[in-house]
């Protein structure tokens, strides 16, 4: 039984690798389907090590399970590289939802700072460029860190 489970996950990982683009930055970017949040997804069957067992499973979760042998209890798999399609096990770590939202807020904040650097302007000027109030800019930065946020959403 254990053997069969192992071969299931190995086969799935092999199939995934055929659809992965290895970038110079070290990210292994999934080239297949993604879910609404932007994470790579694959369809699995009889993956008894996965809570979902069958159906759509995120690619990075399959990678984590394959490389680390098991999924951590009560934790989610986070991307240190912030690339949702990345499945390089070295870029993945277990964390909590709270950590994830903290990370997301931090990413949103950093993205705002990057914009400010890129445009060479102040927060107030950036808000003006985006046609929002400086107060709304903070909300916007939080949204940028939200995996469900898509550019163009207000
Ligand atoms: Zn990565």
- The 10s digit of each residue's pLDDT in 48-80 is 777 777 889 999 999 999 999 888 888 999 998
Kindly give the distance from the C-alpha atom of residue 153 to the centroid of ligand 1, in angstroms, as a whole number. 25
Distance of CA 88 to the CA centre of its chain: 11
pLDDT above 50 for 47: yes
Q: Over 70: is that where the pLDDT of 154 sits? A: no
List CB contacts of 74: < 8 A, sequence separation 6 or more: 96
Cα of 105 to ligand 1 centre, how many Å? 19
Q: Does the pLDDT of residue 1 top 50, yes or no?
A: no
Q: Which residues of 127-153 are buried (b: 16+ CB within 10 A; e: fewer)?
A: beeeeeeeeebeebbbebbebebeeee
Rounded-to-integer distance, Cα 138 and Cα 125, Å: 13
Instruction: Check residue 153 and give its pLDDT.
Output: 45
Question: What does the domain layout of the chain look like in residue ranges?
Answer: 7-95, 101-144
Token digits for 39? 């994470």
Q: Is the pTM of this model over 0.75?
A: no
| Phi, psi dihedral angles at 10 (to 5 degrees) | -65, -45
Q: How far is the CA of 36 from the centre of ligand 1 (A)?
A: 19
Give mean pLDDT, residues 92-103.
87
- 16: nearest Cα among 75, 94, 39, 76: 39
State the pLDDT at residue 40.
96
Ion ligand 1 residues within 5 Å by Cβ = 27, 81, 83, 86, 88, 91
pLDDT attached to residue 2: 46
Q: How many CB atoms lie within 10 A of CB 52?
A: 11
Under the banding of pLDDT at 50, 70 and 90, the label for residue 145 is low
- CATH architecture label of 7-95: Alpha-Beta Complex (3.90)
In the reported structure, the alpha carbon of residue 31 is separated from the centroid of ligand 1 by a whole-number distance in angstroms of 13
Tell me, in angstroms, the distance from the centre of ligand 1 to residue 130's CA: 30
Mean pLDDT, range 121-135, rounded to an integer:
80
């Amino acid at each position: 039984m254990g053997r069969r489970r192992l071969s299931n996950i190995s086969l799935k990982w092999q199939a995934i690798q055929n659809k992965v683009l290895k970038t110079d930055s070290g990210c292994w970017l999934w080239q297949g389907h993604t879910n609404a949040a932007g994470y790579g997804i694959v369809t699995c069957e009889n993956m008894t090590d996965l809570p979902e067992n069958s159906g759509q499973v995120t690619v990075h979760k399959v990678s984590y399970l394959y490389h680390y042998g098991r999924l951590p209890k009560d934790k989610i798999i986070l991307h240190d590289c912030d690339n949702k399609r990345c499945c390089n096990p070295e870029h993945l770590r277990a964390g909590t939802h709270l950590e994830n939202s903290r990370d997301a807020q931090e990413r949103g904040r950093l993205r705002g700072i990057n914009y400010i650097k890129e445009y060479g302007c102040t927060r107030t000027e950036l808000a003006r460029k985006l046609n929002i109030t400086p107060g709304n800019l903070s909300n916007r930065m939080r949204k940028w860190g939200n995996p469900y946020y898509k550019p163009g959403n207000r």
